Amino acid sequence: MNAPTAPNAPVTPELVSRARAAARTSGRGVYAELETLSGLEPRAFVQALAALLRFEVIETATMLEMRPANELLPLARALTRHCALLHGPGESLVAVIPDPFDIELQDWIAAVARAPVRLNLALRSDIQAYLTKLESSARAMDAVQLSLISEAEGTEGGEQISIQRIHEDESEAVKIVNSTLYDAIRDGASDIHLRSAREGMVIKHRIDGVLGSAGPVFQREVSTRIISRLKVMAGLDIAEHRVPQDGKLKVNALGRAVDVRVSIMPTIHGEDAVLRILDKRSIIPADGVLRLSVLGFEPDVLSSLRKLVNLPYGMLLVTGPTGSGKTTTLYAAISETNTGRENFLTIEDPVEYELQGVAQIPVNEAQGLTFERGLRSILRHDPDRIMVGEIRDKETAEMAVQAALTGHLVLATVHANNAYDVFNRFTYLGIDMYALTSALNGILAQRLLRTVCAHCATEHQPDDTELRELGLTRRDLAGRVLRRGTGCGDCRATGYKGRRAIVEILALDDTLRRMIAEKQPIAEIKERARAKGIRFLRDAALELAFQGETTLEEVARVTLQA
Ligand SMILES: [Zn+2]
């Protein structure tokens, strides 16, 4: 390790010695101090550190190609020690460690291996991603065994199968709640699910629209304290365990205040909590101005959308499942068109983002302020433009149509699978199709697709099943390069990082209006729309896959019901 180092190397023995000195007073560890001192990004830092120490760096994809030495280092122990042991070429063993300054771990792993090991260095997050992938395949096999154990031990026996014993004092629950919230906000999660189970509690985050990354299972006692802690923070009744409760809390994390909606629900195993994170950061772009142009829409989509939101009156409906970015699109449309010369009012549940110069009314069901009553009072306030957060009942639907027919511009979201499904939805609500089509300027259907993680992306040849599912042939793929992520520390082993919106805009013309009002078959309406050059959601999604931006799997997940 005394090998000469290039003078401009980012990590030098001199820097290591400064890091050691800093670590003695800060208690942060040499690795962390050195990383800070180097000023490098995590991946670049690992490379530089490995170069200095003559270690090899290994990433998730390479680890996954090797055979794990589970017989020497069982997964549960690898998870607690944040390391991995793999079979190398021949008889050799490769140990993967996150911190070369942790000598104790190196000794431990050598003892476990009972043979010489070659030490490789990896990002802690890459090791975590690798273990997560290993765990999810192991869990499928273990699921049966685990349920048998807990069955045999009865309901009281649940505690014994919790993997790690945790300090049971109050501060432990506080620590878990805080770290869960912190992680969720840092990772851009939209929801946190805390589900009481027979064995305790499972914590999951919804990130990029997908629920995943199951947290540890805590003991029953700790999970009860976690729920109590959340109730205290959200100003709810701690003594009440039998009825659902809703509240709100505010946390300060990563230098900003974030609102969190808390909803507690009693279940057979205790109480569940679902936290909705209303992080403005996930809506507002870096420069603080929300415009349609920052949402990444194609130019033709952008211009037809702009045309629709700039019409003086009529209705624009935005549709898509929960978490498809409908509200963000509406907010962008409003902030772009709001000139201040018109009276703009909204009724929303909840108000997720404050719009300059717009009067926003939050729905408050508990106090009787529903969408219907809110919209009724808005209409008495002489509005020019109105946004209805969601149309979900007959009265609101009727009022919105009426408002659009009487010279107002109405923007609203409606929960439906696609643009054509919206007509079924309104028919179901008992709205006259002639009135609806006269009021309606257009419908925008939206989805968010997860994009392939740039770090672990590889070329991917789809198999026949995958193609069949999407109705594609080999010929459709000719000359295209499809990609998918193998999973790494950057993408929490999912292979995806970030999302992109795809939209389908059905702008109505007189022919389409007549066809819809006369309830002609959807297939014919679609035919007419296609002839008009309207691009369907599926086509927009496939286009992204063909550009290597997303996977066919994701296209199927997101658009098969569209
Ligand atoms: Zn990745």
265-311 pLDDT, tens digit per residue, is 998 888 999 999 887 666 666 566 678 887 778 888 899 999 999 99
Res. 393 pLDDT band, cuts 50 70 90: very high
Query: Ligand 1: distance of its center to the CA of 255 in Å?
Result: 26
Residue in this structure with the two tokens 């042939």, named with its chain if needed: 473
Q: In angstroms, what is the span from residue 181 Cα to ligand 1's centroid?
A: 23
CA angle 350, 352, 357 (to 5 degrees): 105
pLDDT tens for each residue of 344-376: 899 998 887 778 888 899 888 888 889 999 999
Instruction: Count CA atoms within 13 Å of residue 133 on its CB side.
Output: 23
Tell me, in angstroms, the distance from the centre of ligand 1 to residue 46's CA. Answer: 17
* C-beta neighbour count of 90 within 10 angstroms: 5
**To the nearest whole percent, how much of the chain has pLDDT over 90?**
45
Look up residue 422 and give its two tokens: 């919206």
Angle separating helix axes 522-531 and 510-517, nearest 10 degrees: 170
Separation of CA 484 and ligand 1 centre (Å): 9
Report d(CA 487, CA 452) in Å as an integer: 10
C-beta separation of 269 from 150 below 8 A: no
Which residues on neighbouring strands pair with residue 419, listed in sequence order?
Answer: none
The model's pLDDT over 116-154, given as tens digits with 9 standing for 90+, comes to: 899 999 999 999 889 888 876 665 444 333 333 333 333
- State in Å: Cα 349 to ligand 1 middle: 35
CA 453 to ligand 1 center in whole angstroms: 5
pLDDT in tens, 251-265: 877 767 788 999 999
Range with the poorest average pLDDT among 192-206, 209-223, 421-435 = 209-223
* For residues 90-119, average pLDDT: 91
Confidence grade of residue 47 (pLDDT, cut at 50, 70, 90): very high
Q: What is the pLDDT of residue 386?
A: 94
pLDDT, tens only, 482-509: 999 999 988 888 899 888 889 999 999 9
| 474 C-alpha to ligand 1 centroid (Å) | 27
Alpha carbons 451 and 449: distance in angstroms, whole number: 6
Separation of CA 415 and ligand 1 centre (Å): 32
In this prediction, residue 230 carries a pLDDT of 92
Residue 461 CA, ligand 1 centroid: distance in Å: 18
* d(CA 126, ligand 1 centre) in Å: 9
Looking at the chain, the whole-number percentage of residues with pLDDT higher than 70 is 88
**Between residues 317 and 6, which one has the greater pLDDT?**
317
**How remote is the CA of residue 487 from the centroid of ligand 1, in Å?**
4
Confidence of residue 413 (pLDDT cuts 50, 70, 90): very high
Written as one letter, the residue type at 268 is I
What is the 493 CA–ligand 1 centroid distance (Å)? 6
- Sign of the CA dihedral 544, 549, 554, 558? negative
Q: What is the spatial distance between Cα 62 and Cα 486, in angstroms, rounded to a whole number?
A: 10
Q: Could you tell me the distance, in angstroms and rounded to a whole number, from the CA of residue 61 to the centre of ligand 1?
A: 9
Q: Where does the pLDDT of residue 166 fall: very low under 50, low under 70, confident under 90, or very high at 90 and above? A: very low
Q: The dihedral of CA 412, 415, 421, 426: what is its sign?
A: negative
CA–CA separation, 406 and 438 (whole Å): 11
Residue 156: is its pLDDT beyond 50? Answer: no
- 494 C-alpha to ligand 1 centroid (Å): 7
Distance between Cα 496 and ligand 1 center (Å): 6
Check pLDDT > 80 for residue 186: no
C-alpha 11 – ligand 1 centre gap (Å): 26
Q: What is the pLDDT of residue 223?
A: 86
pLDDT in tens, 446-484: 999 999 999 999 999 998 888 988 889 988 888 888 999
Residue 173 CA to ligand 1 center (angstroms) comes to 31
Cα of 70 vs centre of ligand 1, distance in Å, is 24
Write down the mean pLDDT value for the chain.
Answer: 85
pLDDT at 561: 67
Question: How far is C-alpha 267 from the chain's CA centre?
Answer: 25
What's the whole-number mean pLDDT along residues 237-255? 86
**Alpha carbon of 455 to ligand 1 centroid (Å):** 5
Ligand 1: centre distance to CA 476 (Å): 27
For ligand 1, the distance from its centroid to the CA atom of residue 129, given in whole angstroms, is 9
Q: Provide the pLDDT confidence category of residue 105 given band limits of 50, 70 and 90.
A: very high
Ligand 1 centroid to residue 502 C-alpha, Å: 22
Give the distance (Å) from ligand 1 centre to CA of residue 43.
12
| pLDDT at site 177 | 83
User: What distance in angstroms lies between residue 57's CA and the mean position of ligand 1's atoms?
Assistant: 16
Strand 440-452 vs strand 314-319: parallel, antiparallel, or unpaired? Answer: parallel
Element (H, E) at 279: none
Residues 94 and 72: beta-carbon distance below 8 Å: no
SS3 446: strand
- The more confidently predicted of residues 8 and 471 is 471
| Distance in Å, CA 452 to ligand 1 centroid | 8
* Ligand 1 centre distance from Cα of residue 525 (Å): 41
Q: What is the pLDDT of residue 189?
A: 86
| CA–CA distance, 273 with 201 (Å, rounded to integer) | 10
Higher-pLDDT residue of 168 and 526 is: 526
The tokens describing 505, both together, are 């805009």
Alpha helix (H) residue ranges in 269-392: 299-309, 326-337, 371-379
pLDDT at 164 over 50: no
Cα of 511 vs centre of ligand 1, distance in Å, is 47
**Quick one: tokens of 5?**
């180092």
Residue in 110, 74, 63, 67 with CA at minimum distance from that of residue 91 = 67
Higher-pLDDT residue of 16 and 176 is 16
Contact 18, 36 (CB under 8 A): no
**Cβ–Cβ under 8 Å, residues 64 and 132:** no
Could you tell me the distance, in angstroms and rounded to a whole number, from the CA of residue 135 to the centre of ligand 1?
17
Distance, in Å, from the CA atom of 233 to the CA atom of 513, rounded to the nearest integer, reads 51
Q: How confident is the model at residue 562 (pLDDT cuts 50, 70, 90)?
A: low
How large is the average pLDDT for residues 436-445? 95
